[in-house]
Amino acid sequence: MKIKVSGWNLLLFICLLLSFFPLVWMISTTFKQADQIFSEFLNPLPRPFTWENISYVLNAVPMVRYFINSLIVAVLVTAFQLVTSILAAYSFTRFDFKGRQFLFYVVVASMLIPIQVTMLPNYLLISKLDWLNTYAGLVAPQLANGMGVFLLRQTFRTIPQSLYESAQVGGAAEWQILWRIAFPVVRPTVLALGVMFFINVWNEYFWPLLVINDKDMLTIPLALQLFINSEGGNSWGPMMAVGTLASLPPLIAFFIVNRQIVSSFISTGVKG
Amino acid sequence: MNRMWRQVRPYAYILPALLPLLVFVYYPLVQSVQISFLEWNMVSPNPKWVGLANYRDLLASDEFWLSVKNTGFYAVFFLVTLFAAPFLAAFGVTRVNSRWSAFYKSALFAPTVLSLAVASILFLWLLNPVIGVVNHLLSLAGLPGVNWLSDPFWSKWAVSMAASWKLFGYNFIVLLAGLLAIPQELSESARVQGLRSSWGLMGRIVIPLMSGTLIYVFVTAIVVGIQSVFVPVEMLTGGGPNQATTNLVFLVYQYGFQFFKSGLASATAIVTFLAFLLLIVVQALVMDRRAYYEN
């Protein structure tokens, strides 16, 4: 028995190495000098510690501008997706109306349609609106999210009808019931979803690749491409520095709400 | 007035979510089908109606069948790295000391929050033939180095590894959720009745009881994996060397945005979509039969 348990430990340790090794090395290489990157690439400790890769990146490209671009898009999309998801999920659980089941399926089934099928028409529409290379062009196609409606509906359903009824008897308006009574119950899910949306948009590659070609409008994932030299001879220090900078916001967001994310996955994830 | 608002209100609450989905998901889906019947370069004012010619050309092209073959490779690869491996890891977490399991949960999930673009540049570096860590470790083990990104055979492995690294944690957590939902008493009573080995427990109790999650992750591993590998392919290999890393998703992008064959691109997109849909429908049917919907 004892041997078997440590067998699982060994397996997990290998998984841990494979998961963490690249991450740790990216961060440590960020703070290494060029000659150490070549001579001691297995040594995780930067000796001496240097900011030169970071400062190189900040000077070589308008990195701050890219950060702001990504931040604006991620915050806007997250806000829109949360608000539209909360309203729709609330309606689906609170009201009884004609076509409720059908409309719910329409919203949720949108998750099954991959971006490859919609990108060409959406690109044409965005370019007709003259929204290429704009925040509007990046944000517009993702104002709503079927996944958000689905997961929030699961959470809203845990609210007992009696809670609504007593609020109604007390004379509260529907709008107040939603924000004062129902919203506090679903707040942890909203927080976890918000972080998930933010991270997803921050990391998004495909749609920005199509809509953005103006150098000033790049988002962070597209900016990473600027550091790949297709002829070879990449400068690894700056490249890892840009990777570290790109990863900071999602990593920070993750560590702040780590527990909620993991546990909300565990409670809302598919069961059985 | 008040009465009318009561009638309309449920729809008014749904509209902000529904409208964008109709405009940016469902309507473009219909348009894609229309475009797939056209010969068009995206800018010309006079697209030509060609019926099913795009589908015929697609099925007759070598590129398409090469992409199908590569997509098959990716599907198998991701079933190993995004289905089998995270399942074993999740099962392992339930078998080790609980003090460690909390740590493993966060640590294995962490790479999932990073972007595929970051995963791509990381693996570009790890797999570099000269200063990459992977080849260095191979040489320590006495194995010859590999030109990961320029070798027609290994390049598929390289881009798949980058995508797997990013996606592993998500599937791990979903599978762990499925495992933790299995009532503790069942595993206990199995143990009392003499089922002591991990493999026995897995085969008799765990796999049958979480088959819904397993099917879900099986399909997600393939569909999400094939879509995600687009990023390392686009960033690191451009579909090469000599089309070795292309797949259906990348082919849609190439036809549409590099060769400006909008009709052919849409036909490829529709075919890919139907293949994914088939997988998802099979999954839904199997899950539905097992009555795992909570309603």
Q: What is the ipTM of this complex?
A: 0.88
The reply to whether A262 touches chain B by the CB within 8 Å rule is yes
User: What's this model's pTM, rounded to 2 decimal places?
Assistant: 0.90
State how many domains chain A has.
Answer: 2
| Res. B292: pLDDT tops 50 | no
Nearest CA in chain A to B86: A15
In a domain, A55, yes or no: no
How far is the alpha carbon of A207 from chain B, nearest alpha carbon, in Å?
11
The reply to whether B14 touches chain A by the CB within 8 Å rule is: yes
Interval B168-195: pLDDT, tens: 999 998 898 888 888 878 777 877 777 7
Q: What is the pLDDT of residue B75?
A: 94
- Establish if A97 touches chain B: CB-CB under 8 angstroms: yes
A142 to B24: CB separation less than 8 angstroms, yes or no: yes
Contact B234 A209 (CB under 8 A): yes
Q: Is residue A253 part of a domain?
A: yes
**Residue A269 confidence (pLDDT):** 45
Q: Which two tokens stand for residue A233?
A: 């001879």
Reduce the secondary structure of chain A to three states and give it as a string. CHHHHHHHHHHHHHHHHHHHHHHHHHHHHHCCCHHHHHHCCCCCCCCCCCCHHHHHHHHHCCHHHHHHHHHHHHHHHHHHHHHHHHHHHHHHHHCCCCCHHHHHHHHHHHHHCCHHHHHHHHHHHHHHCCCCCCHHHHHHHHCCCHHHHHHHHHHHCCCCHHHHHHHHHCCCCHHHHHHHHHHHHHHHHHHHHHHHHHHHHHHCCHHHHHHCCCHHHCCHHHHHHCCCCCCCCCCHHHHHHHHHHHHHHHHHHHHHCHHHHHHHHHHHCCCC
CA A180 to chain centre: 28
Residue A102 in domain = yes
The model's pLDDT over B146-161, given as tens digits with 9 standing for 90+, comes to: 889 989 999 999 999 9
Q: Does A127 touch chain B (CB under 8 A)?
A: no
Q: In this structure, are A16 and A122 located in the same domain?
A: no
Coil, strand or helix at B87: helix
**Is residue A134 located within the same domain as residue A114?**
yes
- The shortest C-alpha distance from B57 to chain A (Å) reads 19
Inside any domain, residue B57: no
Residue A226 contacts B, CB cutoff 8 Å: no
Q: In this structure, are A250 and A159 located in the same domain?
A: yes
Residue A93 inside a domain? The answer is yes
B9 is a domain residue? no
B136 to chain A, any CB pair closer than 8 A? The answer is: yes
Shared domain for A169 and A106, answered yes or no, is: yes
Chain A closest-CA separation from residue B244 CA (Å): 17
Residue B294 has pLDDT above 70, yes or no: no
Q: What is the pLDDT of residue A217?
A: 94
pLDDT for res A1? 46
The domain that holds B77 is classified in CATH as 1.10.3720.10
Task: Identify the closest residue of chain B to A265 by CA–CA distance.
Answer: B174
The pLDDT of residue A226 is 87
Chain A, chain B: beta-carbon pairs less than 8 Å apart: 292
* Subunit contact A18:B115, Cβ cutoff 8 A: no
Give chain A positions within 8 Å (CB) of B85: 15
What would the pLDDT profile of A185-214 be if each residue is shown by its tens digit?
A: 888 889 888 988 999 999 999 999 999 999
Question: What's the total number of domains in chain B?
Answer: 1
| B119 located within any domain | yes
pLDDT tens-digit readout, B198-242:
787 788 788 888 888 888 899 889 989 999 999 999 999 988 788
Within a domain: B224: yes
Q: Supply A211's token pair.
A: 């809509």
Q: Do A224 and B117 touch (CB under 8 A)?
A: yes
Q: Does B29 reside within a domain? A: no
Q: Which domain holds residue B230?
A: 62-289
Say whether both A118 and A40 belong to one domain.
no
Q: Is residue B74 part of a domain?
A: yes
- Contact flag A117-B28 (C-beta cutoff 8 Å): yes
- The reply to whether B209 falls in a domain is yes
Assigned token pair, A46: 């930067």
> Of A27, A50, A73, which residue constitutes the final position of a domain?
A50
- Residue A56 covered by a domain: no
Residue A80 lies in a domain: yes
Domain contains B173:
yes
Q: Is the same domain home to A243 and A160? A: yes
Residues A88 and A26 in one domain: no
Query: Are B28 and A122 an interchain contact pair (Cβ–Cβ within 8 Å)?
Result: yes
Interface of B with A in 45-84 (CB under 8 A): none
Same domain for A34 and A138? no
- Are A131 and A203 members of one domain? yes
Residue A92: which CATH number?
A: 1.10.3720.10
Q: What is the pLDDT of residue A266?
A: 56
Mark whether A99 and A194 lie in a shared domain.
yes
Is A111 within a domain? Answer: yes
Q: Are residues A183 and A156 in the same domain?
A: yes
- Residue ranges making up the domain that contains A4: 1-50
Task: Name which of A91-105, A213-227, A257-271 the model is least confident about.
Answer: A257-271
**B1-10, B36-45, B97-106: which range is least confident on average?**
B97-106
* Residues on chain A touching B138 (C-beta within 8 angstroms): none
